[in-house]
Amino acid sequence: MSDHHIDRTRKIIAVAALLLLLGVIIALSFSDRTAKPMAINGDVLGRDSGEPLDDYIARAGDSLEAAPADENAFAMVTFPTALGPADASATLEDIGRVNAMILLSAAPIPLPEPVAGETREDVFNRHLDRLQRSFEGIGEISAPREINSVLVWDDGEALRDLSTDPAVMSVEVLPPDAGWGHFGVRPVFTLADVTGGGMASPALG
């Protein structure tokens, strides 16, 4: 096969992958489990419209550095590459509370803490399974099985320890007085896993 045909095939595959991804995002936006936005009361986590990824990471780093060592606060932890339930659970093992997971650019999906005999991996899988079942009857749509970001609650010391994990791209921390359900979230969504290009897209939604 000529180089021209190889390049053309690669472009077709990339476009098809992006169209499939957009279909999943649209489906997620209509799912009852992901379509309900959090109320906003001034505080917002995530990337501003048009904000370069490097600028967002630096801004998140500033908020992390300022987080009090002995006070709990909500934070958004974003992975450089979306993680499966097992890897996400292992990365977050020492975090006090995981409040929600974010798939692609959908709204955060609230999560309970594991009950006796469960792990966070079990919690992730149970809610991913429920999300997949919510798509039944609307076509051949598969819910993502990987997690782009999570919302957590812990003190500044624990969050700074988490930020040193290679599986973590950024940790953005809210002021300790920010209440659950009263801040906005703009997911930091990348197309790296789909395009293979490692380039980050602007946050959607």
Which pLDDT score is estimated for 31? Answer: 46
Q: Is the per-residue pLDDT at 16 higher than 50?
A: no
Mean pLDDT for 7-29 is 52
In a domain, 205, yes or no: no
Q: What is the pLDDT of residues 84-133, one digit of tens each?
A: 999 999 999 999 999 999 998 788 999 999 988 899 999 999 999 988 88
In a domain, 201, yes or no: no
In a domain, 173, yes or no: yes
In a domain, 151, yes or no: yes
Report the mean per-residue pLDDT for the chain. Answer: 80
The angle formed by the CA atoms of residues 183, 59 and 185, to the nearest 5 degrees, is 25
In a domain, 38, yes or no: yes
Which pLDDT score is estimated for 130? Answer: 87
What gap in Å lies between CA 195 and CA 67, rounded to an integer?
35
In a domain, 202, yes or no: no
Mean pLDDT for 6-25 is 52
Residue range of the domain that includes 25:
3-195
Which pLDDT score is estimated for 201? Answer: 33
Which pLDDT score is estimated for 98? Answer: 97
Q: Is the per-residue pLDDT at 173 higher than 90?
A: yes
Q: What is the pLDDT of residues 49-74, one digit of tens each?
A: 889 999 999 999 999 999 999 999 99
Q: How many separate domains does the chain show?
A: 1
In a domain, 180, yes or no: yes
Mean pLDDT lowest for which of 17-21, 31-35, 166-170, 194-198?
A: 194-198
**Radius of gyration for the chain, computed over Cα atoms and rounded to the nearest angstrom:** 18
Which pLDDT score is estimated for 80? Answer: 93
Q: What percent of the chain shows pLDDT beyond 70?
A: 67
Mean pLDDT for 25-40 is 47
Q: pLDDT band for position 144 (50/70/90)? A: confident
Instruction: Please answer whether residues 185 and 46 qualify as being in contact, where contact means their C-beta atoms are separated by less than 8 angstroms.
Output: yes
Which pLDDT score is estimated for 2? Answer: 58
In a domain, 105, yes or no: yes
Query: What letter represents residue 193's amino acid?
Result: D
What gap in Å lies between CA 86 and CA 92, rounded to an integer?
10
Query: Going by C-beta distance under 8 Å and a sequence separation of 6 or more, which residues neighbour residue 9?
Result: 1
